[in-house]
Structure 1
Amino acid sequence: MKKPLILITNDDGITAPGLRALVSYMKEIGDVIVVAPDSPQSGMGHAITIDNTLYSKKVKIDLDDDNTEEYSCSGTPADCVKLGLQEILKKKPDICVSGINHGSNSSINVIYSGTMSAAIEAGIEGIPAIGFSLCDFSWEADFSQAKKFIQNIVTEALENGIPPGVVLNVNIPKLHKKEIKGVKICRQARANWKEKFDKRVSPMGKEYYWLTGKFELLDKGEDTDEWALSKGYISVVPTQFDLTAHHAIQTLNNWNLK
């Protein structure tokens, strides 16, 4: 059978260990093309470059791999997908996988995630897409513990398809593979960040700020991604890029608008 074509990207940069792990896992499933940022782009959300030039070049990260094409891009994760689909790939990929992110993108974090925004950009173009994140911010994180789960999720998506307009947000607990209980299909937990700015003064006397914050879970439901992760499950949340609050339309229609 013909191998599927897999587009891989991320937001931590093309040399990030999480992306290197994902590339090795996906090469066992299909043909891989990588288009990823040339430097870390965490927290970029769905930003795109419109007021500056974009650069891309073919690179060779794994010197022992002569089959995988890889391109670095000076832009954001969303830029990488746009550029990859429009300029680099010669045909439409069968799936786009983004990650593996160093750190969680569960709950409200999905809003800020460059990892998920890259996947969503592919979804907008009608390409099945999945964002993968490991709940471990360490650069030395062990991604191998979830290898078989990641491969299974991608294989199932390729065989069964992902519903139109839907992108999968997959988060993996920081556990040994024997401790991972399985996979749960979840909803996004309601939460926010209690944020504050740490105001400081530079040696030159100039004021500057560091954003700090504490994650606040506001949801006690047992069907959420945060609950699943806390219980040792991998969470899979079907997300959508149609931001319409359909439930609010009737309420707004009752307004006396002129």
Structure 2
Amino acid sequence: MAAKKPLILVTNDDGITAPGIMALISVMKELGDVVVVAPDSPQSATGHAITINNTLFINKVQIDEAVKTAYSCSGTPVDCVKFAVNEILHRKPDLCVSGVNHGSNSSINVIYSGTLSAAVEAGIEGIPAIGFSLLDYNWEADFEPAKRYIKKITENVINNGLPEGVILNVNFPKLPKSQIKGIKICRQAKAMWTESFDKRTNPMGRDYYWLSGKFVNLDKGEDTDEWALDHGYVSVVPVQFDLTAHHAIHQLNNWDM
């Protein structure tokens, strides 16, 4: 008797028409039964936002001949995961994968990322989850070099599971297949954005602003995601959604509260 295929939920934050999600679907079809629920428009940098003050809409779409269940959702990536689990599947999938994001989600970017937040939401639900990102913001980015690594990492999660409360944040360097050296298990680099606002004035005389910034890596360690990506490796960072600073509890208990 053939083993039952895992049920895999696919989502993203670039929108259901993004080339990155199509690349991810093409790999997941080889590994299990695929269900897609993704935003109907780009939702980059929405973080873990959910929709509570507006209505949500979904539409069934035809995205791939091998995918029988696919929906676009008017909400955020996190809304998509919630909707998939509670209204479409009425059960937890065996795996949730998010991406492949057009652009980096390494280091501090995990805080802002809709891609990673969808995976985190799945993790909160007790679903093994992975967020995938490619260091190329171009809509026509080449996802082919990443596919073999997507498959290898996903197969390992399916076969081995993940520690409780942990999801994987995976980033791919923008390199040809022959130049990617392999996979590195890393920690998140200590980095930040030095931000500024580009002030402009519209024809009506009202000021408006565009947020801009420069990414600054403050971490010189050779065990970080930024180091791995800079040196041609796929970075894999285990991420947890428990934000407790456990190391600080003892110190705070010594305060005169």
Report the TM-score, using the length of structure 2 for normalisation.
0.98
Give, in angstroms, the shift of residue 256 of structure 1.
0.3
CA distance in 1, matches of 2:21, 2:145: 15
CA distance in 1, matches of 2:146, 2:24: 10
Give, in angstroms, the shift of residue 146 of structure 1.
1.1
CA distance in 1, matches of 2:62, 2:162: 31
Percent identity between the aligned chains?
71
CA distance in 2, matches of 1:68, 1:116: 25
- Matched with 2:82 is 82
Whichever residue aligns with residue 33 of structure 1, its letter is V
Give, in angstroms, the shift of residue 203 of structure 1.
1.2
For residues 154-212 of structure 1, the C-alpha deviation after alignment (integer angstroms, 9 at most, x for no partner) is: 00000000111001000000011111100000000000000000000011111100000
For residues 189-246 of structure 1, the C-alpha deviation after alignment (integer angstroms, 9 at most, x for no partner) is: 0000000000000111111000000000000000000000000000000000000000
Whichever residue aligns with residue 198 of structure 1, its letter is D
- Matched with 2:115 is 115
Whichever residue aligns with residue 60 of structure 1, its letter is Q
Given candidates 49, 56, 59, the residue that maps to 1:57 is 59
CA distance in 1, matches of 2:239, 2:145: 25
- Matched with 1:152 is 152
Structure 1 runs of 4+ aligned residues shifted over 6 Å read none
For residues 110-158 of structure 1, the C-alpha deviation after alignment (integer angstroms, 9 at most, x for no partner) is: 0000000000000000000000000000000000111111001000000
CA distance in 1, matches of 2:66, 2:158: 25
Q: Which moved more, 1:67-76 or 1:115-124?
A: 67-76
Matched pairs, number: 255
Equivalence map 1:204-215=2 (5 Å) = 204-215=204-215
Matched residue SS, 1:194: strand
Matched residue SS, 2:177: coil
- Matched with 2:236 is 236
CA distance in 2, matches of 1:124, 1:167: 9
- Matched with 1:33 is 35
- Matched with 1:217 is 217
Whichever residue aligns with residue 40 of structure 1, its letter is P
- CA-atom RMSD, angstroms? 0.8
Does the 8 Å contact 1:135/1:171 carry over to 2? yes
Does the 8 Å contact 2:35/2:67 carry over to 1? no
